[in-house]
Copies of this chain bind each other. A is one copy, B any other.
Amino acid sequence: MTARKPAGSAVPPPYAARHARLRQAMRNAEVDSLLISNANDIHYLTPFCGEDSAAILTGKKFVLISDSRFAEEIEPLGQWLEIALRRGPIAEKVGEVAGDLKVKRLGVQAEHLTIAQRHQVAKAAEGAALVDTEGLLSALRAVKDEVEVQLIRRAVQCQQEALKATLEDLRVGQSEAEIAGRLEFEMKKRGASGAAFSTNVSAKANSSKPHYRPSDRVKLTAGKALLIDWGARVEGYCSDLTRTWAIGSMPRKIGEIYRVVLEAQLAGIAAVGPGASCREVDTAARKIIEAAGYGENYGHGLGHGIGLDVHESPSLSPRAAEGDTLKAGMIVTVEPGIYLPGVGGVRIEDDVLVTDKGHRVLSDWPKDVEHAVLL
């Protein structure tokens, strides 16, 4: 067994405020401690983002459970949190730490912990009652603090600069995979740790498939649509944009749906503000697409929160819960689309910060129809 190291210093910003908000949520959930098993939740509460780790927060302490691979990296954090290095399974160390801390009601993350993990933790943490909680961290994480807003801004800037470099060398005949690879390379060169998600480059009719994967056999072709859905990850935080263009000249049908999607997207953005209903923001955009007769060709929600996860709370969707509303500090994507199988699809996506008085669009890549033809 590896000894737990006691922490001395105060928790530094921005983590102190996040811990305090989480402790309030734990009191509301009537648990005296919380087992945090999701890597991005741990990263929200500490600078650490390694795998196979866990944390326990109590009213007074924060214990990070990890292993020797990360020992050198996390050692400096020992000044303000306790470190418990495990040699065996995570659950065993969780049980040991929970015993040392004498926790009575140990909250677990029902949306992250698997059935098997719950069995293991229940067995190892005999002295504590496990209490299933849901969404404590995701509710906190939905509202970004200033540090987070700045990181997402940097990610947006990085991905836009990378697009600029990629488009400068764009030419007919390049493959989708080549364009995607170049974009990811350019993001990394500009400080991204990587793509926020697998870059989607769809040339030709493939742009009608919202979750298409780029191919090295499909080449950029004049007179066809090119859709790029890409994002950067900067210090853990994601950005997520989509643009659609036509190559050489705008085909009539693509131009028609482009105008509808853009109008819907602008209406969606205009509806974003503090207190706005998540369902109604979705409706603001969707009704324009439906009125144009393309309701059946738009099968997904309007947008989602972004942060440490590329999809997080809130959800802008017809299926959002009745009372879900936007709050200042949330950052959401607004990304309506129209997909015509065999013809092509158009999606336009920006990242939008909810402010005290309304919203601010964090991305500024042109999207008017005059800028929608390349080469």
Residue A148 at the B interface, CB < 8 A? no
Q: Which residues of B contact A188 (CB under 8 A)?
A: 177-178, 180-181, 184, 216
CA distance A214 to B193 in the complex (A): 8
Ranked 7 nearest A-B pairs via Cβ: A68-B299, A181-B188, A110-B115, A185-B185, A110-B116, A69-B210, A181-B185
Check: A114 CB closer than 8 A to any chain B CB.
yes
Q: Is the CB of A72 within 8 A of B185?
A: no
Q: Name the distance in Å between A184's Cβ and chain B's nearest Cβ.
A: 6
What residues on B are CB-neighbors of A15 within 8 Å? Answer: none
Select A118's contact among B68, B115, B178, B209, beta carbons within 8 Å. Answer: B115
Within 8 Å by CB of A51, from B113, B194, B211, lies B211
Interface residues of A in 273-300 (CB under 8 A from B): 299-300
Q: Which residues of B contact A47 (CB under 8 A)?
A: none
**What is the bound-complex CA distance between A73 and B206, given in angstroms?**
10
CA distance A269 to B187 in the complex (A): 38
A21 touches B (CB below 8 Å): no
CA distance A51 to B16 in the complex (A): 35
Q: Is the CB of A114 within 8 A of B116?
A: no
A22 to B341, CA, bound (A): 35
Instruction: Knowing A50-B211, A88-B319, A177-B191, say if A67 contacts B114 (CB, 8 Å).
Output: no
- Residue A259 interfacial (CB < 8 Å): no
Evaluate contact between A113 and B114: CB separation under 8 angstroms: yes
In the bound complex, residues from chain B placing their C-beta under 8 Å from that of A73 are 209, 211-212
**Residue on B nearest A180 in the bound complex, by CB:** B188
| Contact between chains at A69 and B198 (CB < 8 Å) | no
Q: List 14 A-B contacts (CB under 8 A).
A: A50-B211, A68-B300, A73-B211, A111-B114, A115-B115, A177-B188, A178-B189, A181-B184, A181-B188, A184-B188, A190-B216, A191-B216, A193-B198, A193-B214
Q: Beyond A115-B115, A115-B118, list 5 extra A-B contacts (CB 8 Å).
A: A69-B211, A70-B209, A116-B132, A178-B189, A184-B184
Shortest C-beta distance, A82 to chain B (Å), equals: 20
- CA A51 – CA B304 in complex, angstroms? 16
Is A119 positioned at the interface, with any CB of B under 8 Å from its CB? yes
Residue A27 lies at the interface, judged by CB distance under 8 Å to chain B: no
Once bound together, how far apart are the Cα atoms of A182 and B186, in whole Å?
9
Give Cα A266 to B68, complex, Å: 24
Which residues of chain B come closer than 8 Å to A187, judged between CB atoms?
181
B299 touches A72 (CB 8 A): no
**A72 close to B208 (CB less than 8 A):** yes
Determine whether the beta carbon of A341 is less than 8 Å from that of B193: no
A110-B119, A181-B189, A184-B184 in contact; A198/B194 too (CB < 8 A)?
A: yes
The CA of A299 and the CA of B341, in the complex, are separated in Å by 52
Task: Mark A193-209 against chain B: 1 for CB-CB distance below 8 A, else 0.
Answer: 11000100000000011
